[in-house]
């Protein structure tokens, strides 16, 4: 009798990550789309799952189109077959998507990129930034570097439904307010979806 074959090991995260980078950099159907890797996760253990979040560098919100995500998925699945073999790659569940409407920003680099968009800023509890910003998260827009250079940021109150008063407008005090915070005191900064 033939001994049962042991289950295939989980996909190599390093091999899958290398395949994703190769597709973004060199695949003719994807490399010209202006996509970059936002995040990558390969599940360990029994689950064979790879989750790829794509950043569209030319998009004002960084969200790729469905057509772009689909083109990446097709090319990435083919690259996984090349990297892992057809049998192992066939057992891998691939999820490719955008970072989401409320994407977390990478600090301080993403602040200037998303200047002018409403941001949900959550300061570290007990920090000077928590005192400066008040509510958590504060709904603000990035205005530029503070007096401390790239390690500090200046924010203004964002004009959103959540920040407008009963009149439906920002008050003169809100429009004039500026808040300077140390970037290192910000626990999380994400795009704010005004719904």
Q: Is the dihedral of CA 98, 103, 106, 109 positive or negative?
A: positive
Per-residue model confidence (pLDDT) at position 148: 85
Smallest CA-to-CA distance from 100 within 194, 195, 193 is with 193
How are beta strands 119-123 and 138-146 bridged, if at all?
antiparallel
- For the whole model, what pTM was predicted? 0.81
Distances (CA, A) of 77 to 55, 72, 82, 90, 152: 18, 8, 9, 9, 42
Q: Do 98 and 69 meet the contact criterion of CB atoms below 8 Å apart?
A: yes
Q: Is the pLDDT of residue 3 over 60?
A: no
Model confidence at 195, in pLDDT bands (50, 70, 90)? confident
């Amino acid at each position: 009798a033939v001994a049962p074959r042991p289950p295939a090991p989980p996909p190599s995260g390093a091999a899958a990550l290398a395949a994703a980078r190769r597709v973004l950099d060199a695949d003719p159907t994807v490399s010209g789309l202006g996509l970059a890797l936002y995040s990558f996760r390969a599940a360990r253990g029994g689950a064979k799952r790879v989750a790829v979040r794509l950043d569209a560098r030319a998009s004002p919100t960084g969200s790729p189109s469905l057509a772009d995500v689909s083109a990446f998925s097709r090319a990435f699945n083919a690259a996984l077959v090349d990297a892992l073999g057809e049998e192992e790659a066939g057992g891998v569940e691939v999820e490719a998507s955008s970072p989401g409407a409320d994407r977390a920003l990478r600090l301080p680099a993403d602040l200037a990129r998303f200047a002018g968009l409403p941001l949900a800023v959550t300061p570290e509890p007990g920090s000077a930034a928590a005192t400066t910003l008040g509510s958590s998260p504060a709904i603000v827009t990035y205005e530029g570097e503070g007096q401390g250079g790239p390690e500090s940021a200046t924010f203004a109150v964002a004009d959103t439904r959540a920040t407008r008063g009963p009149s439906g407008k920002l008050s003169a005090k809100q429009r004039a307010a500026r808040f300077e915070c140390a970037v290192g005191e910000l626990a999380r900064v994400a795009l704010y979806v005004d719904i």
